[in-house]
Amino acid sequence: MPETKLKSGNAGDDTHLRVMDIDGYIIPTFPFQDHEKHFRSMPGWRAREDDIIISAYPKAGTHWLWEVASMLVRHKAERIPEIKETAMMEGLTEETFDNMSSPRVINTHVYFKYLPKDFFDKKCKILYIIRNPKDIAVSFYNHHRKLLEYEFDGAWEDYLKRFIKGKVDYGSWFDYTLEMEKFMEENQDYPIHVLYYEDMKEDSIKEIKRLAGFLNVEASDELVTQINSLCQFDKMKNEKNSGEDLSEWRDNNPGMYRKGQVADWKNWFTVAQNDMFDSIYKEKMSNSKVQVRFSI
């Protein structure tokens, strides 16, 4: 397994992230045998016509969307007993993938070139959720510090520079977002549904109805309301964190669900950090049509 300790490259920062490096592409260290072999074989796996793929950069709301979509396709407002990692492409073996019951609601953070080509040949539906990168940076920082597998205990001010440079698993938020935008521009007939995390927070009922329409799921107002209630952040945090292995987290305190807020970044960014980030964002996203909101 090509495990490595990823440095930030910042002067005076000796911290690292324990990750996997596959030909320069960085992913987490999923704890199962022959992980690299399975990851490399993934483009050849077989899809099903009714597969649904949730695609997102880490900490963009994947857990939330996976719960909502899974309930919609099951036509039931019932808590999904599994955690979303059990349906995470880059953390599966081909055998596990093949044995999942349909319709499979898959989630992933990797670029499309690493996924089964059959997904795209069959034009499986894609749900793409976008979240503002300032909140993602804060959430990813806490994720990296709390999850022991990363062996990370760095300071926020150094981490922000690391995040901007893309020295984290799955690389740069900017590169990922621009790559997704390019895919959509080049494949305008592909069934891909775009959601913004901030829109979900602002009016989740509206967004769940919009999602049900895209998935061709008949969802009554009552079902949508029930799913919305079950998928409120605090309720998911209380119920889903109980399924986490406490030994994997610092101080035995699971941190997959933290705050789920919009604009928590204001509690972390200094004025100078915010000005720096805004300048870099303006430069990197100058030709992008993506319209993220940093507050609501």
Which residues are known catalytic residues? 109
C-alpha 154/C-alpha 152 separation (Å) is 6
C-alpha 93/C-alpha 32 separation (Å) is 9
- Interior angle at CA 10, CA 8 and CA 13, nearest 5: 80
Q: Report the SS3 class of residue 140.
A: helix
Return the amino acid letter for 186. Answer: E
Number of residues in the chain: 296
C-alpha 290/C-alpha 184 separation (Å) is 12
C-alpha 107/C-alpha 128 separation (Å) is 10
Residues linked to residue 196 through DSSP beta bridges, in sequence order = 130
Helix axes 233-240, 62-74, angle to 10 degrees: 90
Residue 117: other Cβ atoms inside 10 A:
15
Q: Report the SS3 class of residue 281.
A: helix
Q: Report the SS3 class of residue 129.
A: strand
